[in-house]
Structure 1
Amino acid sequence: MSSQVQQVLSRDGTVALRREAGQWLKERRESAGLSQRDLSAKIGFEYYTFISQIEAGRGRVPAERYEAYAQALGINPREFTKTMLRYNDTVVYNLLFGPEAELAQEPQDAAKPSLKELEKRLLLLESHLLRD
């Protein structure tokens, strides 16, 4: 169990990361020359205001839309997914890519881990998931 202070700090960190993710997504959308309405149509969101909420940090891209979102922005879907993990699920991101990857400016700047290192991280991730 975490204390109320830890929960508030965690919530504040989550809010800050969502805002950063929203800013990153907005910059990519603008670089692609798309309006929120254009992007919404390409991804298949019913309401373009959902893009606005995501970019403001009040929502997150549903995982099932990562590929469509990435393609609409002209970003490699793997890099897009890795970036979304970095912002939305730092525990899993660090287990898969290592905490040193978080220090890189962009995820593609991080060195590729070896197969042995990935296997080690996967085992660590499984052990964390099985504890609950």
Structure 2
Amino acid sequence: MYTHPQQGLEQDDVQRLRQEAGRWLRSLREKAGYSQRELARVVNLEYYTFISQIESGRGRVPPAQTKAWAEALNVPVRDFAIELMRFYDPLNYDLIFAAEKAAPAGTPANDLEERIARLESLLDRK
């Protein structure tokens, strides 16, 4: 049976994560120089108000559009997907990156490249 990726989290935590994601996405959009309307056009959304919903935490980037958003916002697709996972699927994110979370700040394990390499090595074992 399929369960929602955020099942097991309190609703307040889910909302907080969505709002954090929205702030992050808004900062990327602004850095890329897009208005909400322009970004909607670039990622092929019919309604620019959907961007507003995502940025306010009332929606999320559709998984099928992750690549388009990453490219539009000038973020490597893999990095973008991992960051979205932190907000939208925190349970699996924690399972994959738990060892890195426990590492002291400033250690190589906190570096995104190191986390990706560790994830790839786990995937290669399968």
TM-score of the superposition, structure 1-length normalised? 0.73
User: What's the CA shift string for 1:98-128, capped at 9, x where partnerless?
Assistant: 3534987xxx8332344786259x87xxxxx
Query: As a proportion of its length, which structure holds more helix?
Result: 1
Q: Secondary structure at the match of 2:60?
A: coil
Separation in 2, partners of 1:32, 1:117: 33
2:3 aligns to what?
Answer: none
User: What's the CA shift string for 1:54-92, capped at 9, x where partnerless?
Assistant: 000000001000000000001101000000000010111
Aligned length in residues: 113
1:128 aligns to what?
Answer: none
Q: Pairwise CA RMSD of aligned residues?
A: 2.9
1:95: how far off?
A: 2.0
1:93: how far off?
A: 1.1
TM-score of the superposition, structure 2-length normalised? 0.77
Separation in 2, partners of 1:12, 1:43: 29
1:26: how far off?
A: 0.1
Is the contact made by 2:96 and 2:119 (CA closer than 8 Å) also made in structure 1?
A: no
Is the contact made by 1:36 and 1:48 (CA closer than 8 Å) also made in structure 2?
A: yes
Pair 1:83–1:46, CA change in 2 (3 A): same
Identical columns (%): 44
Pair 1:118–1:22, CA change in 2 (3 A): same
Structure 2: unaligned runs, 5 residues or longer: 1-6
